[in-house]
Amino acid sequence: MDKEHLRANLDEVIWNIEEARISVSEHHIVQLVAVGKYTEVENIATLYELGQRAFGENQVQQLKTRMTVLEELPLEWHMIGTLQKNKINNLIDLRPSLMHSLDSLSLAEELNKKLGAKEANMHCLLQINSAREESKSGVTPEEAHDIYLQIKESCPNITLKGVMTIGAHTDDTLLIQQSFEITHGIFETLGKEGATVCSMGMSGDYPLAIKCGSNLVRVGSALFK
């Protein structure tokens, strides 16, 4: 993709984020994580030239390849996809800025153990299956609060920073909004536990997610269309 095309896409996304966040509050700041999984690594480098710093990938291997190719650039990398237990050590070695997809207590315990062995720490979000979809991972809204506290207590090598969700997979805006509101409600009750990141919103629904309180959106196809 040529640079001007990517610039137009990025401008449009930033404008939409701006419009949505201002409708919440002038003080509501939203981070954009550009999800590169559908695009070539060259386009990530171009987006960096255009001012974008934070990038996300949903597979450990792809994350590793791209971090290696682009290691000269001061980028911030996010792991946003389901983490297989046999990839935990690989991910730890990559030292991502934030891992969005901690989706069970058993994954947290396994990750904590392997982090401990390497004397490492990782910043993570607890993934909530807010739309209760079979196809999606994450803890249920009912158990989210307890599991968050349990991880905080029993996993010293994990620093929990907040929550993540994927909006309901439907054309029904009301259902999508509900899944965001449920997640934001949990995020708010976790404020006293130090939660500061509410990661929700993708290409199809990020303005709505921001209006529901998201402060981090993960946008892929809208940037690379």
Ligand X SMILES: *Cc1c(COP(=O)(O)O)cnc(C)c1O
Q: Distance of alpha carbon 11 from its chain centroid, rounded? A: 21
Please tell me whether residue 177 adopts helix, strand or coil conformation. helix
The distance of closest approach from Cβ of residue 199 to ligand X in the complex, given in angstroms and rounded to an integer, is 8
Nearer to ligand X by Cβ, of 70 and 222: the residue is 222
The distance of closest approach from Cβ of residue 218 to ligand X in the complex, given in angstroms and rounded to an integer, is 4
Q: DSSP characters for 57-82? A: ESSHHHHHHHHHHTTTS--EEEE-SP
Nearer to ligand X by Cβ, of 150 and 203: the residue is 203
Q: Which residues contact 197 (CB under 8 A, 6 or more apart)?
A: 98, 125, 161, 162, 163, 164, 215, 216
Residue found under tokens 């969005």: 100
Nearer to ligand X by Cβ, of 97 and 203: the residue is 203
The closest residue (CB) to ligand X is 220
Nearer to ligand X by Cβ, of 63 and 80: the residue is 80
Please tell me whether residue 173 adopts helix, strand or coil conformation. helix
The distance of closest approach from Cβ of residue 150 to ligand X in the complex, given in angstroms and rounded to an integer, is 23
The distance of closest approach from Cβ of residue 205 to ligand X in the complex, given in angstroms and rounded to an integer, is 8
Strand 98-102 relative to strand 54-57, pairing: unpaired
1 burial class (0-12, 13-18, 19+ CB within 10 angstroms)?
middle
Which whole-number Å values give the CA distances from 122 to 34, 42, 64, 87, 206, in the listed order? 20, 28, 16, 15, 26
The distance of closest approach from Cβ of residue 181 to ligand X in the complex, given in angstroms and rounded to an integer, is 19
Nearer to ligand X by Cβ, of 36 and 141: the residue is 36
Nearer to ligand X by Cβ, of 99 and 144: the residue is 99
Please report, as ranges, the residues that interact with ligand X according to CB under 6 A: 35, 37, 58, 80-81, 166, 202-204, 218-222
Return d(Cα 104, Cα 151) in angstroms, integer.
10
The distance of closest approach from Cβ of residue 127 to ligand X in the complex, given in angstroms and rounded to an integer, is 9
